[in-house]
């Protein structure tokens, strides 16, 4: 189903596409006051062919989103077919970012994985459990590389019944690449059985929903993350992308690619550039302390 948000684009009458997933905060962007873009929005749970046909009929060249890698995988054939580019706020899949059709304001997983290795080494990880998201394998599967450096096991988390197939006491560290609510439930379950287990979340976990749903079980959890946005990171990043696009007029996908790859990107949060196909934001370590995300500078 389509929603048209009537925002006039300051520099051009062309539309900007917007791909949102109703399971993430991305849909909320449409309810915020944003006067600088004329946006055609499409729900990623709908028919992608229909959505991209609409985008093409309106001359869309640049798309904000999609928010998650599984949707990026679905969008990629249509981006190629219609010669469009997507600027996502949150996609970090190295494979998708190497496509030259999907760009992101979140760094590539190859940098996030390297930071994760440093953290796991600091935690003296001996036996690692990976909890991966079967609904977003394009993202989660890129963290299986950690098992080349640390002994352990990967399992796909569907619900708490999944965790009953393993013994949490056999693991000293768990890395979760789940959405926040699922990560909260998994953390509560694991810590109830093994209170000393180190819990590490990827950027997909970072949300106010995690601390809200996990409660006291969230205390001490580590997050590998890149931004200053700690409460509603996805929504704030989408605003950052929208602000950037409101200040630049791109008449073609090639012009967009040249600008992204050869210019400094100025945003409301800083100045960045792209190294290869990844934005060069610093990957940082946070920990939940007294219910708040606190940066750990010694990691």
Entry field: residues in the chain: 299
pLDDT by 10s per residue, the chain, length 299: 433 333 333 334 378 999 999 888 888 888 776 667 888 999 999 999 999 999 999 999 999 999 999 999 999 999 999 999 999 999 999 999 999 999 999 999 999 999 999 999 999 999 999 999 999 999 999 999 999 999 999 999 999 999 999 999 999 999 999 999 999 999 999 999 999 999 999 999 988 889 999 999 999 999 999 877 777 788 889 999 999 998 888 889 999 999 999 999 988 888 999 988 899 999 999 999 999 999 998 77
At residue 206, the pLDDT reads 87
At residue 14, the pLDDT reads 75
At residue 299, the pLDDT reads 74
Whole-number Å distance between alpha carbons of 116 and 165? 26
Q: What predicted TM-score, i.e. pTM, was given to this entire model? A: 0.89
At residue 4, the pLDDT reads 36
Q: In this predicted model, what pLDDT tens digit does every residue of 117-147 receive, in sequence order?
A: 999 999 999 999 999 999 999 999 999 999 9
At residue 227, the pLDDT reads 76
At residue 1, the pLDDT reads 40
Whole-number Å distance between alpha carbons of 115 and 143? 12
At residue 285, the pLDDT reads 95
Whole-number Å distance between alpha carbons of 198 and 187? 10
At residue 176, the pLDDT reads 98
Residue ranges and CATH numbers for the domains of the chain are 2-107+232-268 (3.40.50.2300), 109-225+283-295 (3.40.50.2300)
Shortest CA distance to 97 belongs to which of 243, 291, 278? 278
């Amino acid at each position: 189903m389509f929603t048209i948000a009537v925002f006039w684009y300051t520099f051009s009458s062309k539309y900007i596409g917007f791909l949102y997933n109703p399971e993430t905060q991305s849909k909320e962007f449409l309810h915020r006051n944003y006067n600088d873009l004329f946006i055609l929005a499409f729900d990623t749970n709908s028919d992608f062919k229909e959505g991209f046909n609409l985008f093409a009929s309106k001359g869309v060249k640049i798309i904000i989103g999609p928010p998650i890698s599984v949707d990026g995988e679905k969008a990629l054939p249509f981006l190629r077919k219609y010669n469009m580019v997507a600027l996502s706020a949150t996609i970090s899949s190295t494979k998708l970012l190497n496509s030259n059709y999907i760009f992101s304001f979140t760094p590539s997983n190859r940098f996030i994985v390297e930071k994760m290795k440093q953290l796991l080494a600091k935690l003296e990880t001996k036996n690692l459990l990976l909890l991966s998201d079967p609904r977003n394998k394009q993202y989660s599967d890129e963290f299986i590389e950690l098992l080349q450096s640390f002994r352990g096991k990967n399992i796909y988390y569907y619900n708490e019944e999944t965790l009953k197939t393993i013994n949490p006491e056999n693991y000293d560290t768990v890395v979760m690449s789940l959405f926040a609510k699922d990560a909260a439930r998994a953390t509560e379950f694991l810590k109830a059985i093994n209170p000393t287990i180190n819990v590490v979340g990827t950027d997909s976990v970072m949300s106010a929903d995690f601390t809200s749903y996990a409660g006291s079980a969230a205390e001490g959890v580590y997050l590998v993350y890149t931004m200053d946005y700690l409460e509603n990171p996805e929504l704030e990043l989408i605003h950052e992308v929208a602000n950037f696009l409101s200040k630049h007029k791109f008449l073609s996908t090639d012009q967009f690619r040249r600008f992204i790859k050869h210019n400094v990107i100025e945003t409301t949060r800083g100045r960045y550039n792209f190294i290869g196909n990844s934005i060069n934001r610093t990957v940082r370590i946070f920990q939940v302390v007294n219910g708040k995300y606190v940066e750990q500078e010694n990691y």
